[in-house]
Structure formats: structure tokens, C-alpha cells
Amino acid sequence: MLQNTGKLGGCTIFITGASRGIGKAIALKAARDGANVVIAAKTADPHPKLPGTIYTAAAEIEAAGGKALPCIVDVRDEKQINEAVEQAVEKFGAYTMAKYGMSMCVLGMAEEFKGSIAVNALWPKTAIQTAAMDMLGGSGIGKQCRKVEIMADAAYAILKKPTSFTGQFVIDEDILKKEGIKEFDVYAVEPGHPLLPDFFLDQQPEDLAKQMEEHGATPAFKSGKADSAATGPISDMFNIIRGILSPDIVKTTGAVYRFDLSGEHAGVWYIDLKNDAGSAGSGDPPAKADVVMTLDSADFIKMFGGRLKPTMAFMSGKLKIKGDMGLAIKLEKMMAMMKSKL
């Protein structure tokens, strides 16, 4: 495992979701260096099924050698976020680093704060055993996972780098290999057991479900059967999309998108915002896709209908993106235009 160097001593780290799981593991890793940790999470009172609160996490952080500031924060509440930041500044003087849950913000924020604050995204290569994973994978999922400590070590490796290391989408195992870590069984819940790939990496939901079942887990999700009919709510949505296509959107976007939909209205659809005046329809795109989005057809309808934010869909695992993340973000402009048409 990656050894602490003391480099984060005196630094202040604002961590969302630090009352348990990966967030708390990162907090404890930084605390061993003597860091100040702002624990921004919703759980103030004990949960009947989930372990830990912001106050129990604070006690563990201080026992590990750090200083803690527990703050009740729902990240959907801007007021609570601002209040937590103000408390952090008042108690610690400033906050210099942050762990953000939305990696789609990384590219823009890295450019905006270049030279002063580094902004990076960290993803696990394999499934990590947390309360959320236990609920998603059911019984037997734990032995296919790694422990939260691998994410803590990977985050530590990022945090001790200079601010010039920014705008990166980092995989935990990759950065630890660069740090000289060769033995990864120490991070496994059950050393030697086959590991489940992380849901955000390039593996289809059907393959993930099959692998989970092969090794004794009972997945709480299943993809639906393909539906080849080009009629229904997806077709209606694409009629609206075709109605707002214009040379201006094509010029400002410059990308081809493919949508692999599962569920009740499964199928392959595309939006070409790169060639001629643009086009959209069912089947494979006329040119190679720059971005491939995989999601349930019901979530596609919600997303393009303005009832599901793409960032939330991505972070919750409902949306998987393969390709250029910057171009994926550009598609939100079209979604905003569609709200007035619905």
C-alpha cells in the first residue's frame, strides 16, 4: 500500500460524502498526514442500515492525527454548500483542495483554475465494496470488490502532486502503478478472487450482470431485451430533435453521438452534429461516433425531456459515456433547447 509522506500536513481538504465508504477512507488517509478535513455529508444521525455519521467520522479523523470539521451538507442544496465553505474558511483559514463527485466538471474547472487549483477525476478500475455496492450487487458481491483503501491511496497520490497535474481522468490502479505499487491483492476483499470491473468503465451492463451472477452475486439491475421497432416515445423524441437541428448547432458542436438504449424501447440511435446541416435517427450513425452513450430508454427520455440532469445520470451509473467527455458536455446545449419544444 502507498505510504504516507506527511506532505498533506496543514492542508485543508473538503470532502463530500466523507461519513463512510470511499470518502471517509480518503479523509483518514489525509488525516494521517495531519491534514484538516471538512466532512461534508448528509448523515448527522445514525442510519438504521448504513454505518457512520459526520460526527463518528470526525472522531476517527482526529484519532488518526488530523483535524476535522463535520458539516451537514446535501450537495443539491447550494446554501448548505456555501455555509460549509464559510465554516471551513473560518476554522482553517482556507480550503485548498476539494474532491468533486462530478467528473464532467473537470475539464472546464481545470482550465478555469489553471495555475492555482488542480481539478482531477478519480475512478476505480474495479468495483469497490461500499454500502452502495452491497445494495446494488446484493449478496455475494463483496468478494468481487476491492477495499476503499485503494481509492484513498490513489487520491493521496493525486493530492500530493503539484497543481500542474490537472484536468486528468485518473484510474486508481494506473496511478498507483506509477507510484511503484506492484502488489494489489492487499486491496482485495478476497485476495485471488476475480474482480468486477467498475460500472463506469468500458463494459456493457449485460456483461457486468453476467459476471456478478457467475461469482455468486445477485445484481439489482438487468437490461431489457432489444426492441427493433422505431416507433414510440424514443421516435417521438427524435422527431423533436430533428426539428431543432440547424447549421449553427452543427458548427458550435462538431460531434457525432451514438445512443445504445436498453429497457422497454431498446435500440441504437444517433445524432450527427458534425456533418452538413446535421441529422438524427435510428441505427448506426453515418460517420464514426465521437461519443457513445449507453443508458436505459426511460432515462434517455427523462434526460432529453429535462427531467434528469446528464451529470446526475452519469454519476449515478444510469449513463455510461465512452469517448470525448468535452463533446459529451456540449450535447447539453441541445437538451436545453428541447425544453421549450416539449
pLDDT for 6-46, tens place per residue?
999 999 999 998 999 999 999 999 999 999 999 999 999 99
DSSP label of 194:
P
Among 280, 281, 290, 283, CA closest to 256: 290
Q: Which band of pLDDT confidence, cut at 50, 70 and 90, is reported for residue 245?
A: confident
- Predicted confidence at residue 71, as pLDDT, reads 96
**Residue 213 identity (one-letter amino acid):** E
70 shares its domain with 120:
yes
Same domain, 16 and 155: yes
Report yes or no on 223 lying in a domain: no
Q: What is the structure's pLDDT at 217?
A: 62
* Domain CATH number, residue 92: 3.40.50.720
Give me the residues paired with residue 323 across strands. Answer: 291
Considering the domain architecture, whether residues 142 and 191 belong to the same structural domain is answered as: yes
Please give the pLDDT value at position 232.
83
Comparing CA positions, the residue from 290, 23, 322, 304 lying closest to residue 199 is 322
Confidence tier at 121 by pLDDT (50, 70, 90)? confident
219 in any annotated domain:
no
* Residue 290 or residue 110, greater confidence: 290
If asked whether residues 152 and 275 sit together in one domain, one would say no
Q: Do 38 and 142 belong to one domain?
A: yes
Same-domain check for residues 43 and 179: yes
Return the higher-pLDDT residue of 108 and 39.
Answer: 39
pLDDT at 308: 87
Q: Are residues 108 and 36 in the same domain?
A: yes
| pLDDT exceeds cutoff 80 at 211 | no
Among candidate residues 95, 156, 187, 270, the one labeled active-site is 95
Give the CATH number, domain containing residue 278: 3.30.1050.10
| Residue 232 neighbours by CB distance under 10 Å | 14
pLDDT bracket for residue 54 (50, 70, 90): very high
- Residue 342 pLDDT greater than 70, yes or no: no
Q: How far is CA 337 from CA 184, 189, 241, in A?
A: 47, 47, 9
**Domain-located, residue 95:** yes
Q: Which domain holds residue 35?
A: 12-208
Q: Are residues 198 and 308 in the same domain?
A: no
Q: Are 241 and 208 in contact (CB under 8 A)?
A: no
Provide the pLDDT confidence category of residue 203 given band limits of 50, 70 and 90: low
Whether the predicted pLDDT of 291 surpasses 90: yes
pLDDT score, position 225: 38
Which of these ranges, 99-108, 195-204, 255-264, has the smallest mean pLDDT? 99-108
197 within a domain of the structure (yes/no): yes
Is residue 156 part of the annotated active site? The answer reads no
Indicate whether 106 and 200 sit together in one domain: yes
In a domain, 216, yes or no: no
Ramachandran area for residue 278 (φ above 0: left; ψ -120 to 50: alpha; else beta)? left
Domains in the chain, number? 2
Residue 4, in any domain of the structure? no
Domain assignment present for residue 30? The answer is yes
Q: Which helix (H) or strand (E) holds 229?
A: none
The 10s digit of each residue's pLDDT in 142-187 is: 888 999 999 999 999 999 999 999 988 899 999 999 999 999 999 9
The contacts of residue 28 (CB under 8 Å, 6+ apart) are 60, 61, 64, 152
Q: Assess whether pLDDT exceeds 70 at residue 72.
A: yes
pLDDT recorded at residue 200: 59
**Rg (alpha carbons) of the chain, rounded to whole number:** 22
Which pLDDT score, from 0 to 100, does residue 206 have? Answer: 59
Quick check: helix, strand or coil at residue 191? coil
Same-domain status, 90 and 189: yes
